[in-house]
Every structure is written in structure tokens, then in C-alpha cells.
Amino acid sequence: MANKLEIIQLSKQYGDFWALSNVSFTLEPGVTGLLGANGAGKSTLMKLMTDHMPRTSGQILWNGTDIVKLGRKWRELVGYTPQLQGVYDDFTAKRFLYYMGALKGMKRKDIKEQTEQMLEAVNLSHAAHKKIGTYSGGMRQRVLLASSMLGRPQVLILDEPTAGLDPEERIRIRNDIAELAQDRIVLLATHVVSDIACIAKNVLLIRGGKLIAFDTPQGMLANAEGKIGEFSGTYGEIRLLQEQYPNGEIAQRRSGFVLRVAADPLPEGCVPVYDNLTLEDVCHLYLKGDRQYG
């Protein structure tokens, strides 16, 4: 039977502010993309899923058992990559992985073996004995990814693992994640929508602490049909139109300039687009007005 992680009516309140409100969904093996603007509640959701903070209400069940009840056993099953690149500058990559292995309670032999494998997997074997302080942002991110994979966890929670990476490194890490997700649950939070579009089996959209949508990328795209459209005109005309639709995105086509707008219903004069719809458009549709996607 496949593993299952159920989030049921999960809420978190800070004072009067609800960071997360009655969120429910179920994760199964494969990549699930988590999209939302800054402050939408993504990090709070991840903190609750790693049992880093107490929840206000709701449940998180791993194959039917609450993760708080599972305690250390749950943390044995989880691999986590934080957003802030929390790695020690004075450590070498190898020592850092040994350290994480020790924290995960792995056996010495396994730590040694898996450290070599993970460094190889994230292409860091050549720099294994260099101090992390000398690494680029991408290399640090790969160290963190390697550390989250140590101990072969069943659930991987990755908070913006491709932030600050160059395109080549991003593609490489994206492929690694897709590979990992074959037999485990991967929750991938990111601002880079194209990362999710390529590898996600499901997408979670969060706004203001509420779950807006939880579907497959195809389902979301189908749902957005008829709600994405474009105005055409000269640059001056398009600029004038953008004052009316500040969430619209200016693009240049062979025919001239267009303003791509996501709205339900579409405004008058806006021609619906049915081809080349992207998850970016879906985000514009659902998350418009939020800081990141505004």
C-alpha cells in the first residue's frame, strides 16, 4: 500500500492573525508543488509538517497516525531542506553530511556510504572537502538537498530548493527531485512556477492562509481555459490599458505588444487564449493581488 500523508482541517493562529486556516489535502508519492505569495502560509505549513511548531487545530496523519504521536519516528521519515540555506560555513560538505547523518540517528557505516552517494548525486564530490563558506549559492543548496536525502526519507519537504540558482543548476536539481519522487512524497515549495510545471504531479495553491486549489497541473490548466486573454495594440495603448488592469503582464509578439490578463469573466475587448496556457497564468488567475504575483 502506498504511503499517505493527510492534512486535515489544519490551522495556525499567531495572536489575531490566522497564518493557516482549515487547510485539508492528501499527499501521495510524487512531487506536489506548493505555490503561494510571500506570507501566504507556505512556510507555516512546512513548519507544521516538520512538527517545528504546535498547530492551533487540525491533524497531520502519516498512514493514519498523527505525526505528533509518532514524534522521533516521524522525523526519521522526513527529509527537510530549509529556505534560508542554513548550513555552517566552517564545515566542509562531507562533515556537514556526517553531522546531519548523526542527527538523523544513522549508523556510522550508513553515514559514510550514503554521504559518498549523495555527494555524487548532487555533483559535489570534487568539493567535498572544501569549506561550505567558499561555496556558491547553488552548491550550498545542493548540500542541503543531499542532507535532506540522507537516510532515504519517505517524505521530502523542500522549501524553495532552487532559489538563487543559475538555470543550469536549477534544471539539474529539478531532475534530481523528479528522480527522488518516484517512490516517495515530495512537497516542493517555490516561486519558480516553471519548476513545478515540469515535474509536479499535483499543485497546491495557497493564498492568505487558505487553500485555493489542489489539482493536477493539467486539471488547473483546463480550469483556467477561457479565463486568460490578451489585449493587442501599440506600446502606448498597452501602457494605458495596464493602468486599468495592473495585474496584466506586457509581452511582445511578432504582431506587436500584448497585455495578458487573467480574469473571470474576461473584460470586454480581451481575446481569450486557449493555446500555450501555463501554470504561470493559473497563478495569475488565482493569486492575483498577492504581493508576489500582483
Partner 1 sequence: MAELARLLLSPKRLVILIMAAVINLALFSGYCRDKQEQSIAKYSTGMQSAASAKSRENQKLQQYLEKDYPDYLKYVEEQAAAQSILSGLTKQSGFIDRNLKKTAADYSRLEGITLTAGESRGTLAVADYPITDYLLLIAPILLVLELLADADSAAGDLTRSTRQGRVPLCAWRIAAVALNAAASVLLLYGGNILYTCIFYGDPGLTRALQSIPEYQVCVHRITVGGYLLAAGCLKTLAAVILALLIWLVLSRFHVILGWLISGIWIGASFLLFRLIVPTAGVNHLKFLNVFAALDADIFFTQYCNLNWFGYPAGFLLNTLVFCIILLTVAVLLCLLRIGHAYPAKTGEKLADLSDRLHRFLTRHLPVHSLFGMEGWKLMIAQKGLFVLLAAGVMGFSLWKEIHVYVPVNSDTERFYSQYSGEVTKENIERTAYIVIGEMKSLKNAKVALAKAYLRKAAPRDIDRIKQGIMKSESELYLYKNLLNTMLMLAKYTRETGRPAWFIQQNAYMIFFQDSAAEHRCSMVLLLWMIFTFSGIAAYDNRYDTAMLLRSTRNGRAGLLTAKAGWILLLTLIASFGLHGVYLAHFFTDAEFAMLDAPAQSLALFRDLPFSVSMRGILIGYLFVRYLIALVIAAGIYAVSRFSRTPEKARMTAMVIFLLPSALAESGIEQLQMLNCVGLLSFPIA
Using CB under 8 A, list all residues that contact partner 1: 47, 50-52, 72, 75-76, 78, 80-82, 84-92, 94-95, 98-105, 108, 111-112, 129-131, 144, 147, 157
Closest to partner 1 by CB, 112 vs 191, is 112
191: left (phi over 0), alpha (psi -120 to 50) or beta: alpha
Cis geometry, peptide bond prior to residue 161 (ω within 30 degrees of 0): no
Q: How far is the CB of 102 from partner 1 (least distance, A)?
A: 4
Rounded-to-5 percentages of helix, strand, coil across the chain? 35, 30, 35
Q: How far is the CB of 104 from partner 1 (least distance, A)?
A: 5
Closest to partner 1 by CB, 84 vs 240, is 84
Closest to partner 1 by CB, 84 vs 222, is 84
Amino acid identity of 33? G
Q: How far is the CB of 16 from partner 1 (least distance, A)?
A: 25
Strands 30-36 and 5-14: unpaired
293: left (phi over 0), alpha (psi -120 to 50) or beta: alpha
Which residue's C-alpha cell is 572544501?
130
Closest to partner 1 by CB, 144 vs 285, is 144
Q: How far is the CB of 167 from partner 1 (least distance, A)?
A: 23
Which residue's C-alpha cell is 519522487?
181
Closest to partner 1 by CB, 100 vs 238, is 100
* Cα distance between residue 212 and residue 23, in whole Å: 9
Q: How far is the CB of 139 from partner 1 (least distance, A)?
A: 14
